[in-house]
Amino acid sequence: MEYYNLIENRETIRNYDATKKIDDEVLNRILNAGRLAPSASNRQPWTFVLVSSHKKLTEVKAAYQREWFQKAPCIIVVTGDKTKSWVRPKDGYNSIETDLAIAVDHMILAAENEGLGACWIIAFDYELLAKAIGLKENEVVYSMAALGYPPDDFKKTGRKIRKPLDEVVKRI
């Protein structure tokens, strides 16, 4: 899809057909979009944890108990190693959260391009999620993405609720 159409049409979808599996080739293209994301000093401090086995889906879903989320056939949890990301020498700012957010966004846009529905999730129970995916010391997780094909009769809202450009742009 053309880039501007893609970002215009993308909207968060919280409605998945649990019976529709996502092909490995499709998942690999989405994961590869995350791999191609830029990161500070090109450190690529991430791991994309693809959750699709019944056991692990059940454990991860327990960390975010929303009805719609229980239907997602696939979840990508993006973890990062904060000892591998770039740190600004002067003040110690660590770019890990920024790096991981860009990778997630790349994958969510790729999912849209594949005709999938996706939802970015941060309101999870951190401890439960960390345990479910076996998060190691030094590793952090800020977000995960639920992926799934929407039901056949699903219609997007077509609404973009955004502030006007002149409210968010400051020209100096």
Ligand X SMILES: Cc1cc2nc3c(=O)[nH]c(=O)nc-3n(C[C@H](O)[C@H](O)[C@H](O)COP(=O)(O)O)c2cc1C
* C-alpha separations of 116 from 36, 79, 119, 162 in Å: 19, 22, 10, 23
Q: For ligand X, which stretch binds (CB under 6 A), given 36-44, 49-57, 71-79, 120-128?
A: 120-128
* C-alpha separations of 40 from 1, 97, 126, 139 in Å: 28, 11, 25, 17
Binding of residue 12 to ligand X (CB under 6 A): yes
User: For the chain, how long is the longest CA-to-CA vector?
Assistant: 54
Q: How far apart are CA 123 and CA 143, in angstroms?
A: 8
- Give the one residue of 122, 125, 138, 154 binding ligand X; rule: CB under 6 A: 122
* Shortest Å, Cβ 24 to ligand X: 26
- Total interface residues for ligand X by CB under 6 A: 9
Binding of residue 172 to ligand X (CB under 6 A): no
Binding of residue 11 to ligand X (CB under 6 A): yes
Footprint on this chain of ligand X (rule: CB under 6 A): 11-12, 14, 119-123, 143
